[in-house]
């Protein structure tokens, strides 16, 4: 009998915090631990250097593994990340975050510790599911493992590294993302979409150095004044993004898609409370979810170069950079949106007739992901989840961005599915992160059945 709880506890004890370079040794230990486990299962494992460095150290390596090589079987790529968010007892944890603790809450058993939900629980469940299949002597599919160690730090080097090594993995017929949670605590969850992103910097340069406002106030054109005027015009009074053409490629809402929102239980008040929100732009729960998941948005994040300390400083900043991001949806092209945004900001600036200098930078772009919920990967997963848990699984999207999913879909020419493992209330990234033992064991069982089920399906 393979025990995911024991395996998870071992993983949690290794603080593989990617944000902390002093933990690089722990990350290395973690990836080698997983390698050894996979080698015991008969896999060929390759720990490959991250292609990205910060000039001093390389970022954490990626683990690639192959298990099974039957050309008549489907080949599934399993994605998770072995790094975790930082955590300190002083942050307000009840117990040491890297000392796993099993505790009963209202008759349910939970494992507490950093990474239990995100993403070591899913790794433990996956490895145990595969281990049981190996022990039973029959692999229903060929497995390929892609475990990165930089996800919590923005997936540093993921694309470069996988692009360099993906051929070693061979042909892939389907991609399983094991890095999400259920939407609620009561029903299993599948994710079928994330938004994309275009992050922009609006730089306005005036004088060569900062100017005393007693000297310059009233006699020089101030860069901050230009910037604030531009920022104030990016969204209108109805919260619509004003960039011309911004909505042109947004996929229309079909009746089938709209129906997916009917069976999602979502409590607006609870949502507000748990996120510390005082007000929302709509009181209609379905509209709110659509605005978060399937409609694009624009947010202003900050102004680099602005005076932001306590107290008053009478300075006119010489150069300011406004930071703006847009969350994007099917079928918006992040690069095209970045260009439309740049053109628009240049036009707004021109209208100001300012002698200052404007430069618009695209700081980052990332693709949205849309996994077709009628795809056979989803159809089979829904059936198995329904059977195992006795509840209809919830199909949800997210307003956030995981650009590596569409990247892998394109690289491998295969579709992806995201199967939730832990529960909504597990506190991923937060204090006292946990996972319910029932979810861990359930994920192992569900994955095992899913792999067996997919042996009878032609994925590509």
Which residues contribute to the site for Mn ion (CB under 5 A)? 118-119, 179
Q: In whole angstroms, what is the distance from residue 243 CA to residue 361 CA?
A: 16
Nearer to Mn ion, 179 or 409 (CB): 179
Task: Give least dist CB 180 to Mn ion, A.
Answer: 8
Nearer to Mn ion, 119 or 367 (CB): 119
Catalytic member of 131, 151, 222, 226: 151
Nearer to Mn ion, 150 or 203 (CB): 150
Half-sphere exposure of 256 (CA within 13 A, CB side): 4
Widest distance between CA atoms in the chain: 82
Nearer to Mn ion, 68 or 193 (CB): 193
188-224 residues labelled b (16+ CB within 10 A) or e (exposed): bbbbbbbbbbbbbebbbebbeebbeeeebeeebbbbb
Rounded to 5°, angle at Cα 75 from 403 and 450: 85
Nearer to Mn ion, 192 or 349 (CB): 192
On the question of a cis peptide bond just before residue 238, with omega within 30 degrees of 0, the verdict is no
The candidate with the shortest Cα–Cα distance to 291, out of 371, 397, 401, is: 397
The DSSP 8-state label assigned to residue 185 in this structure reads: S
Task: Give least dist CB 27 to Mn ion, A.
Answer: 15
The DSSP 8-state label assigned to residue 94 in this structure reads: S
Catalytic member of 26, 51, 83, 179: 83
Task: Give least dist CB 81 to Mn ion, A.
Answer: 6
Query: Is 136 tagged catalytic?
Result: no
Q: In whole angstroms, what is the distance from residue 336 CA to residue 346 CA?
A: 15
The candidate with the shortest Cα–Cα distance to 397, out of 259, 197, 190, is: 190
Three-state DSSP at 379 gives helix
Task: Give least dist CB 118 to Mn ion, A.
Answer: 4
Task: Give least dist CB 429 to Mn ion, A.
Answer: 6
Nearer to Mn ion, 51 or 119 (CB): 119
Strand partners for 304: 321
Three-state DSSP at 279 gives coil
Task: Give least dist CB 66 to Mn ion, A.
Answer: 23
Query: Is 151 tagged catalytic?
Result: yes
- Could you list the active site residues? 83, 151
């Amino acid at each position: 009998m393979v025990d995911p709880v024991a395996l998870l506890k071992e993983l949690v004890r290794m603080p593989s915090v990617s944000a902390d370079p002093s933990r690089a040794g722990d990350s290395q230990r973690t990836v080698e631990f997983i390698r050894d486990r996979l080698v015991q299962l008969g896999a060929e494992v390759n720990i490959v250097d991250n292609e990205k460095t910060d000039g001093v150290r390389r970022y954490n390596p990626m683990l690639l593994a192959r298990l099974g090589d039957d050309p008549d079987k489907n080949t599934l790529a399993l994605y998770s990340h072995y790094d975790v968010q930082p955590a300190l007892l002083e942050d307000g944890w009840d117990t040491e975050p890297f000392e796993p603790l099993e505790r009963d809450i209202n008759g349910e058993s939970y494992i507490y510790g950093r990474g239990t939900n995100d993403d070591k629980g899913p790794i433990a469940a996956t490895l145990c599911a595969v281990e049981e299949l190996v022990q039973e002597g029959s692999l229903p599919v060929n497995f390929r493992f892609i475990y990165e160690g930089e996800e919590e730090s923005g997936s540093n080097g993921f694309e470069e590294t996988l692009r360099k090594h993906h051929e070693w993995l061979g042909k892939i017929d389907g991609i399983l993302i094991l890095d999400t949670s259920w939407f609620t605590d009561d029903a299993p969850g599948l994710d079928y979409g994330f938004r994309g992103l275009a992050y922009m910097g609006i730089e306005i340069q005036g004088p060569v150095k900062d100017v005393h406002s007693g000297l310059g106030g009233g006699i020089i054109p101030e860069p901050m004044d230009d910037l604030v005027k531009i920022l104030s015009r990016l969204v209108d009074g109805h919260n619509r993004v004003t960039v011309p053409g911004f909505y042109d490629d947004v996929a229309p809402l079909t009746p089938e898609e709209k129906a997916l929102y009917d069976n999602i239980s979502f409590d607006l008040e609870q949502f507000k409370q748990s996120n510390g929100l005082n007000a929302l732009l709509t009181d209609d729960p379905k509209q709110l979810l659509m605005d978060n998941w399937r409609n694009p948005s624009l947010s202003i994040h900050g102004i680099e170069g602005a005076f932001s300390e306590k107290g008053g400083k009478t300075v006119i900043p010489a150069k300011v950079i406004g930071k703006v991001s847009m969350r994007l949806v099917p079928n918006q092209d992040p690069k095209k949106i970045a260009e439309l945004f740049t053109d628009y900001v240049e036009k707004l600036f021109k209208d100001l007739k300012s002698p200052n200098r404007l430069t618009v930078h695209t700081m980052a772009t990332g693709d949205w992901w849309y996994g077709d919920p009628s795809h056979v990967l989803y159809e089979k997963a829904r059936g198995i989840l329904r059977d195992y848990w006795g509840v209809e699984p919830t199909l949800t999207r997210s307003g956030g961005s995981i650009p590596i999913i569409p990247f892998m879909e394109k690289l491998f020419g295969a579709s992806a599915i995201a199967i939730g493992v832990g529960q909504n209330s597990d506190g991923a990234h937060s204090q006292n992160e946990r996972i319910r033992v029932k979810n861990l064991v359930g994920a192992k069982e569900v994955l095992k059945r899913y792999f067996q089920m997919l042996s009878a399906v032609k994925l590509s």
